[in-house]
Structure 1
Amino acid sequence: MTVDRRGVLLAGTGGAFGLYSWAAGAAAPAPKRLKLRRRHGVRPKNILVVLTDDHRYDAMGFMKAQSFGDTPTLDRLAREGVHFRNAFVTTALCSPSRASIFTGLYAHQHRVVDNNHPIPPGLIYYPEYLRAAGYETALIGKWHMGVETDTPQPGFDRWVSFKGQGDYLPGPNGLNVDGAKVPQRGYITDELTDYALDWIGKRSGKRPWMLHLAHKAVHSEFIPAERHKGRYTNQTFRYPDSMRPKVPGRPMWVENQRNSWHGVGYPYHGTLDVGDYYKRYMETLLAVDEGLARIMDLLARRGELDDTLILYMGDNGFMFGEHGLIDKRAAYEESMRVPMLMRCPSLFGPGEVSQVVANIDVAPTMLAAAGLVAPDGLAGADMLPLARGEEAPWRTELIYEYYWERNFPQTPTVHALREDRYKYVHFHGIWDVDELYDLATDPNENNNLLARPGHEELAERMSAKLFRLLEETGGMQIPLSADAGERNELRDPKGPAQAPFPPRFFRPPGT
């Protein structure tokens, strides 16, 4: 078994997804080659990446998705920096998205395809390149790759993390601080911010630094800090129009998911109201916004704020009733679209970027900010030219992929191709209709063009492009993994009834 410089597993008898038992008879991965060429005349920037969990693209004050929801610090980032208004993840699930952020690769390339798969040996994270180039590096917060480990990972001088999703309030697992078990003292968002402030405050300024601050927030169950509880209780939530049942053209599996763990008819096998749920979500986000303000204040006092590249983003979106669903995984905009804000006045001024960017673009962008030439073969690209307003070549489409999980069987394997105007969504392993949307006229994805004749040629063109891109990037295999996790497969006997097949499947014999 060999690993190339991108850390992508290339060999093995089982094909791209054929081998997941790394210890049994597997050859040791080749030594990592971490020395990258330097860009001439580029002075390395300090880098702060703030990653939140399940933060959807419009859940920021300045987006005005609802009449409430304060995010003054994020609003400031958008005002003083660049707002990437069409930012996406290529898999709307924690572990695959985080692996794409760290590697610049699609899930079918880095192979962390769900929350249970192990990390392939030899996979390279971009902080490893930074560290080899002289950076001081730290990860503080959620790791959540390679099952439930909190063990320190390659590429980081400082490590503060926790197992799995972690806990908002102190629990028995505590934190892993540089390999030692340390009790969690208080509310997790505040505590992670304190660790970040402590680490930044101890930098001497002699070497550039990179901090990856990954909050547990705003992952469910949403628990706000005590000081923020109830702030939005009396506010009015606007329920999405697509939450209504039996929308024409909606796939049968989507309608059936209403009565499931991830549906509005039986959410988490309970009776929560998505409006109240959203209010707690936005209350939980308040501590993240306050913590970022504290970090920016420290950077200002140190004289480093305007020369530090700050990137804020979510690891995936979250649905609050759209299409009758909650959570993520699906290829709908609210699931795969995330906030992305970037500020560094010494590199670029305020602005807005409309091109489609994604989590796979983070690694090459951070390498560019560090004055390094990215290794060959990354799926992502450097976003800095877009931030500067330059006419740079850019993608015209983005692949989305999600692989079916037995512990969450409501959502099938999904591949989608998102262009600037159209989105084609292709499902595997189910007897159902695919989806095609004109995002220019139907941004909320309520009108499935494949539900009636007239758009077959467009669907065929996009399907052919999707599979060509998957073929070119090594994505023509669907992974198989052993059963893992609790089976969330129940239905409420008094909940929404099973959906009928789409009308297009009915045809009398002989016609």
Structure 2
Amino acid sequence: MKIVFSAFVVLMISIEAASGQPAAPRPNIIMIIGDDMRYDSFEPTGGPSWFDSPSINRIAYEGASFENYYCVYSLCTPSRSTMMTGLYAHSNGSIDGDTPYFPWLPTIATILDSAGYHTGMIGKFGVYFVPQPGWDYWMGRTKFANGEYLDPKFNVNGIVKTIEGNVTQIITDTTYRLVSEIDTPFFVCIGHQAPHQPAIALPASEGIYASEEMPVPANFFPYNSFYPSFLYANVPPLTETVIVSDLEKYFECLKDIDRNIEDIFDVLSDRNLLDNTLLMFTSDNGFLFGEHALKGKELPYDPSIKLPMFIRYPAWFNANTLVKIPMGLTVDIAPTLLEAAGVNEEPYHFQGLSLHKLANGELTRDKMLYENIKYADTTGKFRPSIRSIRSNNYKYNLYFCEELTEEFFDLEADPAENFNLIKDLQHADLINQYRYELDSMRIALKDTLAADNVLKPCYLVINRQIESINYVEDPFPVLDILSNPFKETITARFSTSSKGPVEIFVYNQLGQLMFSDKIMTENIGNRSTLNFDASYLPAGIYCLTARQNGKLCNEFIVKE
């Protein structure tokens, strides 16, 4: 590194002498990565009004927020490997949560280190648990502490240590010390474990949102038709109580991360480095908190793949910049940071593009490839590999099942991805176009892993009512729609033996609530037919949901 750095200094002196002007100092770079953070959690991206994260928001409001930013693999290790290498998982070798990227690949750290940057890594890095090339300072999680919040183990420059306290506070304190002392120019990567489940917030944040209404999704009900068979197979019961509890802990942990970023702003201001530092805030992947009655990541639905991406760097972005199109991806981080550092990216053959060049129109992208790779499955869940192509308007998902299993969503009419149109004849030509474009994109990105051709015993469920799946214990017994399609009145038949009110909701294709009612069970008996006035609803497709004691059932209905 020292030889390369000396050569770089000589080069810069030569440039200054030739131009008569001092060269602008290279920017410092700080990248903050949360774990399983969703796009819609923060004020700049439509988060809950009661959640205040002023320091995170400051990055967006004093810089740029990317409205359409996605991960190309929704899982911790593959996603972080993509960020560091600028390559898709099928190219960098990190094909699952237990497999690191190929050790011979250049990374942001090795490239910037060779260019004279001082580098530091703090926190979660994936499944590399010992110091990696390119990092001058390394304080990474160890293999056996990767999920611990309290008294975790870290590998500190080659020495394993157990450090007392909460992992978020440890990362925050270490970041403060490192950013206070590190020489410029520097690249510091902060990999938070928070808010990865099971989340444990700092004492200052515990319970602070107990009185707030958590953002339980409007489509907290399972798919009723045309969905992959493995979605609800062998999954534990998912109730609203669980989702509310998880969301409360999630936002508590985000508040802790915000305090870390407040410290970073303070140190940079004290050192007079703020405006020459590129601050990037993002996540490795998203998370489903009840959408389609699902919880977790890896799936290609937007809550799982859409992420926050905030960048504060005055040399690039004015305050309050909103980048709507084109879409940005996790594979874009490496070329973005190299551009900021003034390093030529061409020798590294990245598969991503600079977010700066995408934002200013120099480059463009109108579609993305998503992947989830599963060579073999010994868990009994039989989850297949996935490939997906997404544009701003449509999404096509292909599951590697023994029977053809596909999804096609109209994201303009149905942004919540409630209605799979794969069997809709009106979209047949468009679906074929997206099939072809998926194949073409895979070829262009060299997605040709020979081992990733295992077909799992899954299929497309046509109608959930005739499937034998264990979705919930003691499910809501019966919801029959007797007038489907309907014109003026929705006629529904309910059957329940439970006590307590039955809540009725009708949602449109955008997930907007159009109608709600509450009926006492003593008024409907064990089996009763009820009528609901729907004359005011425009023609279209709706979802009628019944909820009792935290359990759900739903039917899709059509108004002519």
Tell me the TM-score range normalised by the shorter chain.
0.7 to 0.9
Q: Residue 302 of structure 1: which of 271, 274, 282 is its match?
A: 271
2:370 maps to which residue? 400
Q: Which residue identity lines up with residue 349 of structure 1 in the other structure?
A: N
Q: Counterparts of 1:457 and 1:266 in 2: how far apart (Å)?
A: 37
Alpha-carbon offset, residue 74 of structure 1: 1.4
Alpha-carbon offset, residue 464 of structure 1: 1.1
1:295-444 matched pairs, under 5 angstroms: 295-350=264-319, 351-354=321-324, 355-374=326-345, 375-387=347-359, 390-404=360-374, 405-407=377-379, 409=381, 411-431=383-403, 433-444=405-416
Question: Greater CA deviation, 373-382 or 310-319?
Answer: 373-382
Alpha-carbon offset, residue 121 of structure 1: 3.6
Q: Counterparts of 1:463 and 1:495 in 2: how far apart (Å)?
A: 39
1:283 maps to which residue? 252
Alpha-carbon offset, residue 411 of structure 1: 3.6
* TM-score normalised by length of structure 2: 0.74
1:233 maps to which residue? 210
Alpha-carbon offset, residue 384 of structure 1: 1.6
1:144 maps to which residue? 126
Alpha-carbon offset, residue 202 of structure 1: 1.2
- Report Cα offsets for 1:392-429 as digits up to 9, x if no partner: 22111110000235448364211000112111111102
Alpha-carbon offset, residue 112 of structure 1: 0.3
* TM-score normalised by length of structure 1: 0.80
Change (3 A) 1:295 1:410: farther
- Report Cα offsets for 1:164-197 as digits up to 9, x if no partner: 42421114xx111000122212111111111111
Q: Counterparts of 2:99 and 2:82 in 1: how far apart (Å)?
A: 14
Question: Greater CA deviation, 158-167 or 241-250?
Answer: 241-250
Q: Counterparts of 2:404 and 2:438 in 1: how far apart (Å)?
A: 19
Partner SS state of residue 219, structure 2: helix
Change (3 A) 1:327 1:292: same
Q: Residue 235 of structure 2: which of 260, 268, 286 is its match?
A: 260
Q: Counterparts of 1:212 and 1:77 in 2: how far apart (Å)?
A: 16
Q: Residue 109 of structure 1: which of 74, 77, 91 is its match?
A: 91
- Report Cα offsets for 1:364-391 as digits up to 9, x if no partner: 000011101103521101112344xx22
Give ranges in structure 2 of 5+ residues lacking alignment: 1-6, 16-22, 454-468, 477-560
Change (3 A) 1:479 1:280: farther
Q: Counterparts of 2:332 and 2:284 in 1: how far apart (Å)?
A: 13
Change (3 A) 1:58 1:329: same
Q: Counterparts of 1:159 and 1:358 in 2: how far apart (Å)?
A: 26
Q: Counterparts of 2:355 and 2:25 in 1: how far apart (Å)?
A: 17
User: Is the counterpart of residue 218 in structure 1 residue 200 in structure 2?
Assistant: no
Change (3 A) 1:438 1:491: closer
Q: Counterparts of 1:496 and 1:125 in 2: how far apart (Å)?
A: 49
- Whether the 8 Å CA contact 2:31–2:189 is kept in 1: the answer is yes
Partner SS state of residue 172, structure 2: helix
1:501 maps to which residue? none
Change (3 A) 1:279 1:479: farther
Q: Counterparts of 1:480 and 1:460 in 2: how far apart (Å)?
A: 23
Alpha-carbon offset, residue 212 of structure 1: 0.4
- Whether the 8 Å CA contact 1:329–1:402 is kept in 2: the answer is yes
1:76-155 matched pairs, under 5 angstroms: 76-145=58-127, 149-155=128-134
2:261 maps to which residue? 292
Q: Which residue identity lines up with residue 384 of structure 1 in the other structure?
A: H
Alpha-carbon offset, residue 163 of structure 1: 2.1
Q: Counterparts of 1:413 and 1:306 in 2: how far apart (Å)?
A: 44
Give ranges in structure 1 of 5+ residues lacking alignment: 1-34, 482-489, 498-511
Partner SS state of residue 423, structure 1: strand
Alpha-carbon offset, residue 118 of structure 1: 4.1
- Whether the 8 Å CA contact 2:81–2:126 is kept in 1: the answer is no
Q: Counterparts of 2:474 and 2:435 in 1: how far apart (Å)?
A: 35
Q: Counterparts of 1:242 and 1:451 in 2: how far apart (Å)?
A: 21
Q: Counterparts of 1:182 and 1:168 in 2: how far apart (Å)?
A: 15
Q: Counterparts of 2:61 and 2:329 in 1: how far apart (Å)?
A: 21
- Whether the 8 Å CA contact 2:96–2:373 is kept in 1: the answer is yes
Alpha-carbon offset, residue 253 of structure 1: 2.9
Greater relative CO (CA pairs within 8 A, separation 6+)? 1
Q: Counterparts of 1:364 and 1:246 in 2: how far apart (Å)?
A: 39
- Whether the 8 Å CA contact 1:67–1:236 is kept in 2: the answer is no
Q: Which residue identity lines up with residue 328 of structure 1 in the other structure?
A: K
Q: Counterparts of 1:119 and 1:494 in 2: how far apart (Å)?
A: 40
Q: Which residue identity lines up with residue 210 of structure 2 in the other structure?
A: T
- Whether the 8 Å CA contact 1:329–1:411 is kept in 2: the answer is no
Q: Residue 228 of structure 2: which of 223, 241, 251 is its match?
A: 251
User: Is the counterpart of residue 200 in structure 1 residue 170 in structure 2?
Assistant: no
Question: Greater CA deviation, 451-460 or 325-334?
Answer: 451-460
Change (3 A) 1:493 1:398: closer
Q: Counterparts of 1:121 and 1:394 in 2: how far apart (Å)?
A: 31
Question: Greater CA deviation, 52-61 or 196-205?
Answer: 196-205
Larger radius of gyration: 2
Partner SS state of residue 455, structure 1: helix
- Whether the 8 Å CA contact 1:54–1:219 is kept in 2: the answer is yes
User: Is the counterpart of residue 177 in structure 1 residue 156 in structure 2?
Assistant: yes
Q: Which residue identity lines up with residue 207 of structure 2 in the other structure?
A: G
Alpha-carbon offset, residue 246 of structure 1: 4.0
Question: Greater CA deviation, 231-240 or 336-345?
Answer: 231-240
- Whether the 8 Å CA contact 2:373–2:452 is kept in 1: the answer is no
Q: Counterparts of 1:108 and 1:421 in 2: how far apart (Å)?
A: 26
Change (3 A) 1:56 1:210: same
Alpha-carbon offset, residue 495 of structure 1: 5.8
Alpha-carbon offset, residue 43 of structure 1: 4.3
Q: Counterparts of 2:387 and 2:26 in 1: how far apart (Å)?
A: 37
Change (3 A) 1:376 1:155: closer
RMSD of Structure 2 on Structure 1 (CA): 2.6
Q: Counterparts of 1:170 and 1:76 in 2: how far apart (Å)?
A: 31
1:448 maps to which residue? 420
Alpha-carbon offset, residue 42 of structure 1: 6.7
Q: Counterparts of 1:491 and 1:479 in 2: how far apart (Å)?
A: 31
Q: Counterparts of 2:315 and 2:363 in 1: how far apart (Å)?
A: 23
- Whether the 8 Å CA contact 1:141–1:192 is kept in 2: the answer is yes
Q: What number of residue pairs does the alignment pair up?
A: 438
